[in-house]
Amino acid sequence: MTDCIFCKIVNGEIPSAKIYENDYVIAINDINPKAKAHVLVLPKVHLDSFNELGDEKLMSELLKGVKAVVKIMNLKSYRLHVNTGKDEGQIVFHFHIHVLSNHP
């Protein structure tokens, strides 16, 4: 996906401050945070939305990424958020999980 901003971040074409990375996922700070801590955990492969996620291994790695972010940032409480589809607020069409906390 050549026009995808998250693919460009994954490929190193756009710099980002990485919170966590493994072979499957990357976690970065949201540039427009909606909470004191707002991190995006995204797969390194392009999927438009949650609806395209069918790989159990990838889902497991995404959840490992969430847990790693929580530990690295020492979040005491947090919420996870996924937007799927334009009508539900999805702006960037590369699946990602928001990790948000007002109590970092």
Q: Which two tokens stand for residue 73?
A: 């940032």
User: What letter represents residue 38's amino acid?
Assistant: H
> Could you say which of 38, 81, 94, 96 is catalytic?
96
Q: For residue 14, what are the CA distances in angstroms to 6, 40, 43, 102?
A: 9, 15, 16, 27
Is residue 81 part of the annotated active site? The answer reads: no
- State the residue for tokens 């790989």: 55
Would the CA dihedral through 40, 43, 48, 51 be positive or negative? negative
Residues with catalytic annotation?
A: 96
